[in-house]
Amino acid sequence: MRFFCVKFKSIKLVLLIVLVLVLLCVNYGGYTAAGVFFGSAMRKVPVYYVNTDEKRVAISFDAAWGADKTEKIIEICQEYNVKATFFLVGMWVEKYPEMVKKIDASGFEIGTHSNTHPDMTKLSKQAQNLELSTSINLIKNITNKPVEVFRPPFGAYNDSLIETAKDLGLITIQWDVDSLDWKGLSAMEINNRVLNGVRNGSIILCHNNSDHILEALPIMLDRLQKRGYTVGPVGDLILKTDYMIDNNGMQSAKI
C-alpha cells in the first residue's frame, strides 16, 4: 500500500512539472511566460548606435520649437561637407514650411519626431499611428520624398510604438551620444560630452534651437573630422534591411 502511495506522489510530481513547463512556454503579450518569469523577455529596442569597424558617425538635430538657428546650422554643416538628419515635429513643419524646403534642398535627411511631441508611450496604438502618419504626410507634401526614420519625443518608447513605426516603414532611432545642448550647456561643455562619448557607429543628438549650438557645432565637426570620423545623416549610417538590434540598441548585420 505504501508503495502505491509513493508511486502516486511521484506521478503527481511529474505531472506538475510537465504542467509548469507547458505554462512557461505559453506566449504572453509577445513573450513566453518563461521569459517574463525569469526576466529574460526580449522587448523591442530602437537603434542607439551601429556596429561598424568604420570611423563613421551620424549627427542629428531634433526640431520642435523655434527655427532661427536652423539655416546657420545648415551653412556650418556645408562648410565641413557634412549632411545631417533633422527630426521634425509636424507642428514645426506646418509653422516653418520654407525652412523644411531649405533643409531638403540642401540635401539633408528629414525624419519625423511625431506630430505634436507627446509622450507616445501613453497613447493607444491608433493614436500613435495618427501622430506618425500625420507628420509623415506633412513632410512628404513639402519634400515629395519618403520619410524613413523616426525619433520618439523624450526618447520614450514601447513595443507598440516601435511596431507602429515599423508598419509605417519607419526605423525608430535613439542615440548613444547626448550633447545635452538643450540644457544651456556652453559650447565647450557640449563638445566635451560629444567628443568623450563618440565611437564608431555613434548617433549624436543635438537640437536645432539650443542656446550654444552655433558656437559648438563648428568645433564639433572639426574635431570629429580630425579624429578621422566621417560625419553624415542617420540614414547613411544605419542598416535598412537584414539587421538585428541587441538589448543595448546596437544594430548589426544579421549573420
Task: Write down the domain spans for the chain.
Answer: 2-38, 49-253
- The terminus-to-terminus CA distance of the chain in angstroms comes to 59
Beta bridge partners of 230: 56
- Rounded-to-integer distance, Cα 8 and Cα 191, Å: 71
152-168 per-position pLDDT tens digit: 999 999 999 999 999 99
The pLDDT of residue 6: 44
Cα R_g (the chain), whole angstroms: 23
The pLDDT of residue 13: 52
The pLDDT of residue 42: 75
232-252 per-position pLDDT tens digit: 999 999 999 999 999 999 999
- Rounded-to-integer distance, Cα 113 and Cα 93, Å: 10
User: pTM for the whole thing?
Assistant: 0.84
Would you say 231 and 57 are in contact if contact means Cβ atoms under 8 Å apart? yes
Would you say 56 and 203 are in contact if contact means Cβ atoms under 8 Å apart? no
Q: Superfamily assignment of 49-253 in CATH? A: Glycoside hydrolase/deacetylase (3.20.20.370)
Residue 42 has what DSSP assignment?
P
Enumerate residue ranges in the chain where pLDDT < 50.
Answer: 3-6, 8, 14, 17-41
The pLDDT of residue 37: 37
Q: Name the strand (E) or helix (H) holding 78.
A: helix 70-79
**Residue 152: how many other CB atoms lie within 10 Å:** 27
The pLDDT of residue 3: 46
**Residue 188: how many other CB atoms lie within 10 Å:** 12
What phi and psi values does residue 236 have, to the nearest 5 degrees?
Answer: -85, -20
- Could you give the 3-state DSSP secondary structure of residue 217? helix
The pLDDT of residue 24: 43
The pLDDT of residue 121: 98
The pLDDT of residue 35: 39
The pLDDT of residue 12: 55
The pLDDT of residue 28: 34
